[in-house]
């Protein structure tokens, strides 16, 4: 299997009244064909913007991709025309958006919305597109698909709309699916349903997926590899197994320790990450995690570096990188 996507030093900024929001600020990673990549991190750290950047759908103004490369199937998406990009969008690369209701058109039937891409990209006629749309709805588990296809989005429940989005995303057999998970709108059982469908369909069709989520459990279940983002950058990157077996950035460690787990003995008290997520307009010069970092707090005198210089991504193991001056396994300070 080959490399499908290679993102190099991607930077997407928003030029706002309050200042420049460095939503994505130097992000590099690759994705193999058919691979499932998890993208985790807290609200506002740049997950959605980094996905929207791949699709070249960042709201402009105020946003703009200010640097980097997005190599997709051998071409730099930042170097092609809008027409060429349109041919890729929804076709080779598709996205399931965080807000299903805002991305489905309320005045068009489900059939119209599904058929549109099929007619445009797959050159199907109306009847063929409709037949295929029914099939797709059926595939994502909408009961009585041939009848429900003429419904409007508001006639569907939240979970059903989410499934329609998957059907739309998968309609043209994309090579890459970006699935931006709704944060609160879905329930556990519906979330499980939706993700199982994504996993099944994409593995059948060999589609690579980027799953964007807050939920560390979701990543553990579905992802092959994981990017952990913090304040617009990737701070840890590893295989899913590697990440959970040996988390190597204090933020990841803190995150894993702070969530109660169903499979573990009850704890007297939870172990939270102190402090608040950073303000992307006024990022400190050094590591953005400094104000919340346990390691820094406990070893201030030895870790002057943390406040002075942003740590690059260090190799910390096989296929495992972390952007931290501390080697959390040995307790040593990195050069």
Rounded CA-CA distance 26/234 in Å is 8
Find the shortest distance in angstroms from Cβ 298 to ligand ATP: 28
Write each residue from 293 to 332 as x if it is in contact with ligand ATP (CB under 6 A), else as -, in one continuous string.
----------------------------------------
Cβ burial, residue 210 (10 Å; 0-12/13-18/19+): buried
CA distances (Å), 138 to each of 64, 304, 327, in order? 39, 58, 50
Q: What is the CA radius of gyration of the chain?
A: 21
Q: Which does 241 bind (CB under 5 to 8 A by kind): Mg ion, another protein, ligand ATP, none?
A: another protein
**59 near ligand ATP (CB under 6 A):** yes
Write each residue from 176 to 205 as x if it is in contact with ligand ATP (CB under 6 A), else as -, in one continuous string.
-------x----------------------
- Which of the stretches 99-107, 110-118, 244-252, 305-313 binds another protein when contact is defined by CB under 8 A? 244-252
Segment 47-106, which members bind Mg ion (CB under 5 A)? 48
DSSP string, 20-54: EEEEEEEEEEEEETT-EEEEE--TTSSHHHHHHHH
Rounded CA-CA distance 158/147 in Å is 19
Q: Would you say 255 or 303 has its CB closer to Mg ion?
A: 255
Q: Which of 253, 219, 254, 288 is nearest to 25 (CA)?
A: 288
Cβ burial, residue 261 (10 Å; 0-12/13-18/19+): exposed
- Which of the stretches 27-35, 40-48, 60-68, 322-330 binds Mg ion when contact is defined by CB under 5 A? 40-48
Question: Which position among 9, 18, 19, 62 is part of the footprint of ligand ATP (CB under 6 A)?
Answer: 62
User: Token pair for residue 252?
Assistant: 């990841």
Contacting residues toward Mg ion, per CB under 5 A: 48
Contacting residues toward ligand ATP, per CB under 6 A: 14, 16, 21, 23, 41, 43-49, 59, 62-63, 98, 183, 214, 280
């Amino acid at each position: 299997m080959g490399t499908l996507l290679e993102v190099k030093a991607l930077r997407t900024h928003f030029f706002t009244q309050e200042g420049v929001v460095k939503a994505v600020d130097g992000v590099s990673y690759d994705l193999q064909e058919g691979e499932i990549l998890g993208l985790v991190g807290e609200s506002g750290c740049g997950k959605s913007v980094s996905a929207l950047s791949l699709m070249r759908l960042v709201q402009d103004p105020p946003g703009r991709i200010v640097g980097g490369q997005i190599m997709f199937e051998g071409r730099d998406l930042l170097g092609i025309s809008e027409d060429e990009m349109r041919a890729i969008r929804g076709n080779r690369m598709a996205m399931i958006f965080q807000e299903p209701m805002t991305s489905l058109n309320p005045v068009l039937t489900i059939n119209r919305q599904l058929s549109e891409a099929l007619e445009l990209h797959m050159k199907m006629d109306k009847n063929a597109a409709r037949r295929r749309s029914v099939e797709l709805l059926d595939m994502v588990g909408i009961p009585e698909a041939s009848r429900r296809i003429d419904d409007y989005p508001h006639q569907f429940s939240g979970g059903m709309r989410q499934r329609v989005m998957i059907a739309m995303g998968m309609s043209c057999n994309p090579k890459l699916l970006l699935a931006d998970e709704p944060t609160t709108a879905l329930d556990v059982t519906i979330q499980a349903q939706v993700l199982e469908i994504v996993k099944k369909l994409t593995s059948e069709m060999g589609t690579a997926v980027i799953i964007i989520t807050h939920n560390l459990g979701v990543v553990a279940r579905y992802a092959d590899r994981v990017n952990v983002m913090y304040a617009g950058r990737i701070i840890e990157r590893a295989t899913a197994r590697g990440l959970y077996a040996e988390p190597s950035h204090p933020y990841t460690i803190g995150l894993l320790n702070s969530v109660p787990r169903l499979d573990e003995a009850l704890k007297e008290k939870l172990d939270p990450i102190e402090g608040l997520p950073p303000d992307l307009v006024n990022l400190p010069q050094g590591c953005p995690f400094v104000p919340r970092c346990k390691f820094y707090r406990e070893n201030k005198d030895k870790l002057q570096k943390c406040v002075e210089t942003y740590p690059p991504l260090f190799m910390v193991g096989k296929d495992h990188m972390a952007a931290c001056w501390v080697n959390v396994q040995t307790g040593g300070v990195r050069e």
